[in-house]
Every structure is written in C-alpha cells, then in structure tokens.
Amino acid sequence: MIISAGQNIEGYKISEYKEIVFGFANSSEGAGYRQVALKKMTENASKLGANAIINFKMEIYPVSGSVQEATAYGNAVIADSIDGITRVESQTQPKINLEAYTRKPKTDDSPIGQIHDINGYKFVVCPKCNTKYKVETDEQGHVHIKGFDDVDDDEPGLQVFCLRCGTKFTVPER
Ligand SMILES: [Zn+2]
C-alpha cells in the first residue's frame, strides 16, 4: 500500500478513486495505537481493491482523561505506475512519522478576568489594564459581552480581546 499525504504519488497516475477510508484506535490499546489506526485504514482500503491512499491525514483527539483517539484517513485509490513497471510491493509498514501526529499540550491558557458586581450589573475586568466590560448571562448560564465574539474555539468558555490593551482573556462563568 502506497500512502501519500499529498494529492499525487510520484511516478504514478491515479486511475480510479474509491472512497475515503478510516482507521480508528485509541491509546488504551497501547503506545502503538497510531500505527494500529494506520493499519486499519490500509486494511479498509485493501478491501475496496485500492493499492494506494492519497491525502492521508491523522488526527488525535482526547477522548476521556488521558486517553487519546487516533483517526487515520485518506482517499483510497488505484494508482498505476506511469512507466508501466510494476514495482514490488513493500511488505514493511509505510514510513510515516506517526510520532508527529500528537496533540500538543496546551501551554497558553488565557488569564481569567475578574467579575465585579456593580449596581446589580456584572462586569469583567481585563487582567492587564483593568478596563471593565459589561457581562450578560443567558438562560443557559453562558456569559456574553455585547459586540464580542469568542476568539478562541480551542479554549473552553468565552475568550475576548481587550479593546484597550489587546490582551486575550477568559470571561468566567460563575
Ligand atoms: Zn486590557
């Protein structure tokens, strides 16, 4: 099985596109779980009669606690060698640096703004320059600041940029 992260394979032309194939494995299966996900993906491609996978990707997501799930996927295709020479298919695992596919630990958690109650209104205070922003809470208990969007989808809760100093901070829900 030829595996390429790109759209093409050098020396080959894609003669048939099969479908997107997946392979799942999680870290409770052991340290080699990325390799297991890759193997399952290639097995699914083989079942379709494919001999190659292009647009290969692997994503790692936390499932629960310290358990990570690896999803390997790509387009299963039939690739024919351009020069007509049939290459002997390697029996070894494809050389892909699976260690590169690791979710990076978060290191840049935003500072949290303090909430102040002033005359029955809630304000959040920028942790750097103390500028106050009026906070509204919806029925689900989520906080909003009028005219502000969440600027960081990776961090839980609402993150905003301070208009005055540009600091990104989290607006706590309490
Ligand atoms: Zn500020």
Domain boundaries, the chain: 2-82, 114-171
How many angstroms is it from 122 CA to the middle of ligand 1? 17
The pLDDT value recorded for residue 94 is 55
Whether this prediction's pTM lies above 0.75 is answered by no
How many angstroms is it from 113 CA to the middle of ligand 1? 10
The pLDDT value recorded for residue 91 is 47
Radius of gyration of the chain from its Cα atoms, rounded to whole angstroms: 24
How many angstroms is it from 86 CA to the middle of ligand 1? 64
How many angstroms is it from 115 CA to the middle of ligand 1? 14
How many angstroms is it from 140 CA to the middle of ligand 1? 27
User: What's the rounded Cα separation, in Å, for the pair 83 and 61?
Assistant: 41
CATH of domain 2-82: 3.30.110.70
How many angstroms is it from 38 CA to the middle of ligand 1? 46
Average pLDDT over residues 130-145: 92
**134 has which bridge partners?**
123
Tokens 């392979």: give the residue.
Answer: 23
Residue-wise pLDDT for 22-76, tens only, equals 999 998 888 889 999 999 999 999 999 999 999 999 988 888 777 888 999 999 9
User: What's the rounded Cα separation, in Å, for the pair 57 and 6?
Assistant: 10
How many angstroms is it from 164 CA to the middle of ligand 1? 5
How many angstroms is it from 22 CA to the middle of ligand 1? 45
Strand-pair category, 52-64 with 2-3: parallel
Is the predicted pLDDT of residue 142 greater than 50, yes or no? Answer: yes
Tokens 């706590």: give the residue.
Answer: 172
How many angstroms is it from 110 CA to the middle of ligand 1? 13
Residue-wise pLDDT for 78-134, tens only, equals 999 887 665 555 444 556 667 667 665 555 678 999 999 988 899 999 999 999 999
